[in-house]
Amino acid sequence: MRGVIMHAPGDVRIEDREDPVIIEPTDAIIRVAASCICGSDLWPYRGAEPVDHSPMGHEYVGVVTEIGSDVKNVEIGDFVVGSFFASDNTCEICQAGYQSRCVHATGLDGTQAEYARIPLADGTLVATPGQPDADLIPSLLAASDVLGTGWFAAVAAEAGPGKTVAVVGDGAVGLLGILAARELGAERIIAMSRHADRQALAREFGATDIVEERGEAGVAKIKELTGGLGAHSVIEAVGTQESMMQAIRATRAGGHVGYVGVSHDVSLDGLELFFSGVHLHGGPAPVRRFLPQLVQLIWDRKIEPGVVFDLTLPLEQAADGYAAMDERRATKVLLTV
């Protein structure tokens, strides 16, 4: 099969790989219908994380072609959506709703490929009610990570009726955090963005205000918009020192920060955190917790998160997709397989 391999920072190639096979009786093999490039894939691409001939990709939808002997919840021929972490969905941590930290959690072998092996298939995959129309596939793919992550961020930030929500980060996760906050009933949603195209999508997803300032100026603007108090709920969807501090400082005392940006070189001052009085909750999103609900919302055409994909390329042009996202010429790249 063909698959994406990152040889080194900035060096993405599409190469022949061995077809995946069943290794454990809990595995499933899927024929990937669509995959995509994640903002987190840019960390190794930019040299911020080590990479050495690594298969890439952790977002996927596709059709089950083979199942292990212990798989009971999905069948050959099912169209499925899965989380970027495999989980058994039965351990105590999973049952508490944190499947990404399952005691048996494991990553994937690279889903920017024609086929993929999905470990712990019963706990990881969710079948759609039937074979989806082609126009639903981008939205179902979004549910595999960026929608589920944005949704978790909004839940962790306790977005809801009567709340003002601020969103730090205008990438795919931040934008879909806006959609999630809207669906959860937030009264006011402030998008922090300097890019006209992303601002337009933010408004389409439910943003009521746009703040272009960053850092301390951005915090001051949020305070100005909230009577000097700060937002009730803040979504942090970047993962840098500046974005984390911007999120914490833009939150009112007693408010909540939902942080889902993969942290790089972030450190918190204990005394400032102590006196901020804010709640911090986040980490790798337990996408599997939300997948059944999100799949149904998409299937019923109540939400359309797939519009976050603004560039679609065939798998063979994945390297162009990485460059486009790195250079901010694209928000989110869908790879057709």
Q: Write the pLDDT tens digit of every residue in 110-162.
A: 999 999 999 999 999 999 999 999 999 999 999 999 999 999 999 999 999 99
What order do you get walking across the sheet with 209-211 strand by strand? 209-211, 188-192, 164-168, 231-236, 251-259, 279-282
In 3D space, the residue among 269, 281, 334 whose CA is nearest the CA of residue 38 turns out to be 334
Q: Coil, helix or strand for 92?
A: helix
Alpha-carbon span 32 to 161, nearest angstrom: 38
The pLDDT value recorded for residue 159 is 98
Give the separation between CA 325 and CA 39, rounded to whole angstroms: 8
Q: How confident is the model at residue 77, as a pLDDT?
A: 98
What pLDDT score was predicted for residue 19?
Answer: 97
Q: Which percentage of the chain shows pLDDT scores above 90?
A: 99
Binned at pLDDT 50, 70 and 90, residue 193 comes out as: very high
* Residues 227-246, mean pLDDT to the nearest whole number: 97
Q: Are 104 and 87 in contact (CB under 8 A)?
A: yes
Q: What tens digit of pLDDT does each residue of 25-74 get? A: 999 999 999 999 999 999 999 999 999 999 999 999 999 999 999 999 99
CB 116 within 8 A of CB 60: yes
- For residues 262 and 236, the answer to whether their CB atoms sit within 8 Å is no
Q: pLDDT for 262-281, tens place per residue?
A: 999 999 999 999 999 999 99
Residue 267 CA to residue 139 CA, distance in Å, equals 35
CA 182, distance to chain mean position in Å, is: 17
Residues in a beta bridge with 235: 167, 258
CA 293 from centre of chain: 16
Q: E strands of the chain, at which residues?
A: 2-8, 11-16, 28-37, 54-55, 60-67, 79-82, 115-118, 125-127, 164-168, 188-192, 209-211, 231-236, 251-259, 279-282, 311-314, 333-336
Which 8-state DSSP code applies to residue 290?
H
- Quickly list H helices, 111-163: 121-124, 137-143, 146-156
Q: Is the dihedral of CA 276, 277, 283, 287 positive or negative?
A: negative
Average pLDDT over residues 72-88: 97
Residue 292 burial (CB count, 10 A) = 12
Q: What is the mean pLDDT of the chain?
A: 97
